[in-house]
Chains A and B, each alone.
Chain A
C-alpha cells in the first residue's frame, strides 16, 4: 500500500502522516487515563519506552513476527500500567502526577543501564514494519474501541470518577477497579504506540522517551480537549504538524511553538474540542443532513 501511495503522496508527507497516526494512538491512551478518568499522568513516555524496547528486542534478538512484537510490547506496558494504577488508590492529583513522573524516570534510568537495550547508545537496525497502512488500520481500530468504551457503562463510570469521585462511589461505581483499569488500558495503548514508533524509527534510545515526550503527549490531550476523542485526535494532528510548519521561522520555531501553546489556552481554555464526544458528533452530522 505504501509503495502505491508514494506515487501520489510525497514520502515526506507520508512520514508525517505515520507520525500523526502513532501520536493519535499514544494520545488516545493517555486520554483514557487523564482526559476521561481525570488521573493526571505525566509519565506516558515510560509506557511508550517499555513497549518500544520490548518489541524491538523481540524483533532483533528473537526474530519475532511483527504482530507478536507489537502485542507483547503493549502487554508489558499494560502490566506496568496496572502496577502504577495501584498507588492511585491512595494518591491523587499532583501527588499521583509525581509518581507517574518518577515511574517514567525510573524506566528511563533502567534502560540507560540495560545492556541488551544498548544503554545510552540505543538500539538500531529495528525492522521497519510500521507502514502507513498498518498505522491507519490500527488508528481506526483504536478509535472504534475507544468510542465504544467511552459510551459503555465502564466509560461512563470513568467520566463519573473524573467529575466527582465521592459521588461516583456513592452511586455504586467501583473506584478501585476502574482507576486501575484506566491506567492499564492507557498503558496498553502507550505500549502499542511505543512499539509502532520503534518499528518506524529504525533506532531508539532512552532519551527519546524523556520527560518532554510525556509532556508533549499531555499537551495533545489537554489542547484538544480533555476526554474528547475528536479533540485528542485534533490535538495530536496539530502538535505533530506545528513544528514542521513552523520551520519557516527557522531558529525562532520553538519560540512560536511556546507562544502558540499559551495563546491557544488563553483563547480556548477548555481545549479545542472540550468534551465533544464522537457519538454526539455523528448525531449532529446526521441531524444536519436530515435538516438539509
Chain B
C-alpha cells in the first residue's frame, strides 16, 4: 500500500507540474500592438549589483519612450527576467524572450560570457542583441545581429598607459588580476602588453579572487615590491578593499584600473582610503556632464533617488539607440533595423559618444579619467579617441 501511495503521489506531482507549465505559459499576447524588449542581467545572486542598475536604466528609457508616444507609434514593453548570472538561465531566458515573448531585441548582459550564450541564440533566431557591458573579445564576431555599447579596453588602455607614463611618470607598475573574473583575466594581458610596449616595467604580478575580503598577504608582498603604481583589472568592490588593506598596512600607492571600477560602492566602501588614490578610465562622467548626461542624471536621481552608474547609462543608451534605428527604418523587424544600427555614428549618448566601426565594434570617445574626490567621482582628464 505504501508503495502504491508513493507512485500515485509522484504521478500527481508530475501532472501538477506539467499542467502549471502549460497553463502558466499559455497566454500569448498579440505582438503586433507592442514592441517588446528583453532585459538580460542578474537581479539576484552574486553579480546582481551589475544587473539591477542596468534594469533601472532600461526601465527609465522605456518609460521616456512611451511618454513620447512609443516607437513608431507603438507602445514599448520591457520584460525583465532574472538570470542569476548563470549560463543555464540565460540560455533559457534568451530562447523564451525570442519564441514566447516575441521580443525584437534583447539588451544585456553585463557579463561577456553570458552575452555570448545569448548572442548565439539571438543570431540563430535573427533577433538583435545589444550588450550593455560585455567588454571581452569575440562578442560581435558571433554575427551581424550582435552589438555592444561599451568602451573597448583595447582602445582605451593605450591612451591610459600613455597618460600614466607621460603625465605621472609611473614607470614601475604592479599588476593584480582577479583570477576568477573573466573581465579582469581578459584586461590584464592588454595592460601588460601595452605597458611593455611603452617601456614601463612590471615589478610584481599577483592575483586575488572576487568576493574575497582578505588581501593582507598580497598587500604585504606589494609593500616589498617598490612599485610606483598598482594596476588592478577587477571590479570596484575588491579595489576598495585592496585600498583599505593598503591603508591598514601603511602603504601609500595609487591604483589604476578600467571601467569595472566604476561603481558608487567604490567610494562608499573605500572611504578615505580611495580618496584621490584610485584612478579609472570609462566613457561616462557625472562630473562636467554633457547636456544629455546632465538630463539623464537629473531624471534618474528624481526617479530612483540614487546615483546612476555606468550600467544604468549603457542600458539606457542601448534602448535609445535601438529606438532610433527602428524609427529611422520605420520598421520593428530586427532583419531590417539591424543594418541601420551598424551605421550609427557619433550618437550623443548619456554614457558617452558612441560610433560603430566597420566591424560593428563600438568606439566611445572621449576616454574619461576619473578619481574619487570628497566621496564622489571627479574628472581628472578627458582624452579624445580617434573614431576610425
Contact = CB atoms under 8 A, between A and B. Distances in A.
Q: Do chains A and B touch in the complex (CB under 8 A)?
A: yes
B355 interface: no
A4 to B, nearest CB: 16
B100 A10 contact: yes
A250 interface: yes
B218 interface: no
A12 B95 contact: yes
A156 B319 CA distance: 61
B186 A202 contact: no
Given A113-B179, A207-B180, A19 B21 contact: no
SS of A interface (majority): helix
A253 B88 contact: no
Interface string B342-362: 000000000000000000000
B154 to A, nearest CB: 14
A237 interface: yes
A245 B6 contact: no
Interface in B143-201: 178-182, 184-186
B211 to A, nearest CB: 11
Contacts of B309: none
Interface string A1-23: 00000000011110110010000
Interface in A259-286: 272-274, 276, 280-281, 284
B3 A203 contact: no
Given A10-B99, A234-B14, A284 B87 contact: no
Interface stretch (B112-120, B269-277, B290-298): B112-120
Contacts of B178: 120
B186 A121 contact: yes
B4 interface: yes
Contacts of B116: 124, 202-203
Given A245-B21, A284-B7, A120 B179 contact: yes
A193 B92 CA distance: 18
Contacts of B88: 19, 201, 208
B13 A244 contact: no
Contacts of B49: none
B82 A251 contact: yes
Interface in A83-120: 112-113, 119-120
B304 interface: no
Contact of A251 (B14, B44, B113, B120): B44
Contacts of B226: none
Nearest to B97: A12
A194 B112 CA distance: 22
A202 B117 contact: yes
A120 B20 contact: no
Interface string B48-90: 0000000000000000000000000000000001101011110
A266 to B, nearest CB: 15
Contact of B3 (A237, A272, A280): A280
B7 A276 contact: yes
B44 A276 contact: no
A272 B44 contact: no
A290 to B, nearest CB: 15
B138 to A, nearest CB: 6
SS of B interface (majority): helix
B10 A273 contact: yes
A140 interface: no
Nearest to A234: B10
Most buried by B among A120, A230, A280, A281: A120
Contact of B4 (A128, A272, A284): A284
A248 B180 contact: no
Contacts of B179: 112-113, 119-120
A64 B251 CA distance: 52
Interface in A164-213: 201-208
Most buried by B among A119, A201, A237, A281: A119
Contacts of A13: 21
A125 B141 CA distance: 10
A15 B92 contact: yes
B7 A205 contact: no
B17 interface: yes
Nearest to B137: A121
Interface string A24-37: 00000000000000
B117 A272 contact: no
10 contacts: A10-B100, A124-B113, A125-B138, A201-B117, A205-B182, A208-B88, A237-B14, A245-B20, A254-B44, A284-B3
Given A121-B112, A121-B182, 15 more contacts: A112-B180, A120-B179, A121-B185, A122-B113, A202-B116, A205-B87, A207-B180, A208-B86, A208-B87, A234-B13, A245-B17, A245-B20, A254-B44, A272-B10, A284-B7
Interface of A: 10-13, 15-16, 19, 112-113, 119-122, 124-125, 128, 201-208, 230, 234, 237-238, 241, 243-245, 247-248, 250-251, 253-254, 272-274, 276, 280-281, 284
In the complex, the 10 A-B pairs of residues with the closest C-beta atoms, listed nearest first: A120-B185, A12-B95, A121-B182, A12-B96, A202-B120, A120-B182, A124-B116, A119-B185, A203-B116, A203-B117
